[in-house]
Structure 1
Amino acid sequence: MANINLSKAKNAKNDEFYTQYHDIEKEINAYLDFDPDVFRGKTILLPCDDPEWSNFTKFFAQNFESIGLKKLISTSYAVESKHYKTGYQVTMFEESAPQFDKSKTTKNGKIFSLTHDLLGDGKIDVNDLEWQYLKGDGDFNSKEVKKLRDEADFIITNPPFSLFRDFLSWIVEGDKQFVIIGNMNAIKYKEVFPLIMENKMWLGNGFQAGNAFFSTPFAEEYGEGVYNQETGLVKFRNVCWFTNLDHGRRHQPMQLMTLADNLRFNKKVKNSSDVYERYENYDAIEVPFTDAIPSDYTGLMGVPISFLDKYSPEQFEIVWQASGNTRASAPKKVLQQLGYIVHPDDRGGCSIVNGRRTYDRIFIRHKIANK
């Protein structure tokens, strides 16, 4: 299949994308491997779910006892607010429930909760979920859902792609631990990068090769090569998990060669005219490939944003980001520290090497250089 990024979905406000169970399992297990008790005695809120279909709800319900949860809360957005292009059909699950209300089925969101062995069969799982209608439509910004946020210890979900900035701000406002899915390019947002630089947020364990497969009612809109008719899935590239939960891969240092060895043996370096050149407007060198970061260079280096997937806070310090839309928010002292020089081809903070503007760069330096 061909692949696309999330920009098309974001711009079209097509936000109904359901994460695969095995992707959720792989990601959450990375945190459990690092700390088996990370969720023990805690409450998890899944605020952007459709609990009848969501694999997030299924995963945490099925593993409720093994990970030691205290409570699981899952909420959905009202059908009328999703702007379905095809007719909505009430599920048998909802219609057969004693609390079914025809006047609320499309106007109100739903809340599912799990706390105990409701059926009395000696185990707590997805069959013990209880549900009712929310008073409102289930918007995460509503007072009703904010109250649930404040009750929870963790926020875990695949939020609406078109509302990623607002959703992250909502989490930060509540001062919660979280695991959420987003586009790698979100790193460039002024609401996001400062959190990464201050070590308040980082990338999670990750999807395989940065590619994620989602099911969606909008699948066929993405065309042949993106939508796989056999699997019913849509493929997106450059997708990642953002989190403030620790995991082991985050502390694995990159194995790097010296600058001299890169020049001798790294084919990417040999074929690039810009690598290790000094920027014309920053006191730093250009390193366009993560695997070309020299182990023995003690100064500032500009690296691609994909570096964050391999970033270890014990190995590197992140100083700042240079791109076409973030310089205005950069503190003057940071720009001065980078030796920033006004350049005629600089349209807002991008780095320039050999007279050309580069892609977005993150400025880093080895931690050992400051010891």
Structure 2
Amino acid sequence: MVKNKNLNDSKRRKNDEFYTLLSDIEAELQNYKKHFRGKTIYCNCDNPEFSNFWKYFKDNFEDLELKKLIATYFDSGGTTYKYVLSSGSKEPTKTPLFGDGDFRSPECIEILKEADIVVTNPPFSLFREYIAQLIQYEKKFSVIGSLNAVGYRDIFPLIKSHQIWISSNNQHQFFRVPDDYDIGVTKVHADGCRYATLGNIAWYTNLPIERKFTDLVLTESYSPDKYPRYDNYNAINVNKLSEIPCDYDGIMGVPVTFIAKYNPNQFKILGITTGSDAFEAAPTKKYINPVRVTGTCKGGSSTNTSATLLLPRIASRWHLLYRRQRRRISEGNLQKNFDTKK
């Protein structure tokens, strides 16, 4: 069992090695430059030999008017280091760590306490623990994660309560990956390095920024045949964002990718279909030994944590539930309309 666990941990660590491109870092962090001034930045999943996060902050140290830049990284089989670049110094100091550099280790937590803002690309497989640690120590941050993390029970409440939010600068991104990377589609570019394209990638942050929200353009019309109701939620199912009806004001279930397009002036998020009564969107029934489309009969826990459609149509695993908000007409517009009629 221990041997298998070590193998699984090794595979997980390898598949967490996504090196963010400098262009993507620049595009996002330009939104927060004023927040970096006079601050200590900690990149706690970054080896400066590879990390473009370190490169970005080191190359722009004076322009950003940073107080200090710190980087540590995980290495289970070798010596890891703490890199520190301080105001007034031209080159960083390099000090060995006692442990393996895991962000959860006591010495890395002590470094975290010193930091003002954390910026990095943390291990996707440990995203829950990573965000929980940042919240626990009340740190500001801008980090990359899978958009699917929105569906985690301990992440969604933070988004719904506006403790953290998704940046509007999200897209399919290229990541440099190890040569023996074995998941997804990869390509070798002219520089000889292997790259993978990943969709559903998002920047998670709690740094304040002025966002210009735009309405999601809605062109579809509602019909009961096209939008079936869930069997266990008081809502209709919408398979794609492009299919959100423009003339339906009830509760709808949409794919979790909706969160990247979310405009609070146009929609209100009610909850997520995790089967939890902690959210406004609570299931209306529970199943016992439901029969699935495959013909298998299992315990109801898995089905009870999803928005369920009866055969022949099956809902996606995660759905956000929201209600479109009606826009209020200002007093000026009302008066203008009244005067026109006169």
Q: TM-score, normalised by structure 1?
A: 0.73
Contact preservation (8 Å) 2:200, 2:257: no
Alignment of 1:280-359 (within 5 A): 280-322=231-273, 326-327=274-275, 329-331=276-278, 334-335=280-281, 340-342=284-286, 344=290, 347-353=303-309, 355=311, 356-359=313-316
CA-to-partner distance for each residue in 1:295-354, whole Å, 9 max, x for gaps?
4533211111111111123332211111xxx31x432x7355x6x234556712322335
Quote the sequence identity (%). Answer: 34
Alignment of 1:168-179 (within 5 A): 168-179=131-142
Which residue type is aligned with residue 217 of structure 2? L
Residues 309-318 or 140-149, more deviating: 309-318
Distance 1:309 1:166, change over 3 A: same
Aligned length: 305
Corresponding residue SS for 2:83: strand
Q: Does 1:361 align with 2:319?
A: yes
Structure 1 residue 256: Cα displacement: 2.9
Give the aligned partner of residue 252 of structure 1. Answer: 213
CA-to-partner distance for each residue in 1:25-51, whole Å, 9 max, x for gaps?
11111x23xxx5222222111001101
Distance 1:275 1:192, change over 3 A: farther
Corresponding residue SS for 1:240: strand
CA-to-partner distance for each residue in 1:79-101, whole Å, 9 max, x for gaps?
xx0x5xxxxxxxxxxxxxxxxxx
Structure 1 residue 150: Cα displacement: 1.4
Distance 1:157 1:309, change over 3 A: same
Corresponding residue SS for 2:180: helix
Structure 1 residue 233: Cα displacement: 2.8
Show structure 1 runs of 5+ residues with no match. Answer: 1-7, 84-105, 120-127, 264-268
Q: Does 1:111 align with 2:82?
A: yes
The correspondence for 1:41, drawn from 24, 38, 41, is 38
Distance 1:142 1:188, change over 3 A: same
Q: Does 1:262 align with 2:262?
A: no
Alignment of 1:139-288 (within 5 A): 139-207=102-170, 210-216=171-177, 218-222=178-182, 225-231=185-191, 232-235=193-196, 236-248=198-210, 250-257=211-218, 262-263=220-221, 275-288=226-239
Structure 1 residue 192: Cα displacement: 1.3
Distance 2:237 2:185 in 1: 35
Contact preservation (8 Å) 1:139, 1:145: yes
CA-to-partner distance for each residue in 1:43-84, whole Å, 9 max, x for gaps?
111001101221101101111222222221111224xx0x5x
Over the residues paired in the alignment, what is the CA RMSD in angstroms?
Answer: 3.0
Task: Return the structure number with greater relative CO, CA threshold 8 A, min gap 6.
Answer: 1
Corresponding residue SS for 2:34: coil
Which residue type is aligned with residue 70 of structure 1? K
Give the aligned partner of residue 3 of structure 2. Answer: none
Distance 1:274 1:137, change over 3 A: farther
Contact preservation (8 Å) 2:281, 2:321: no
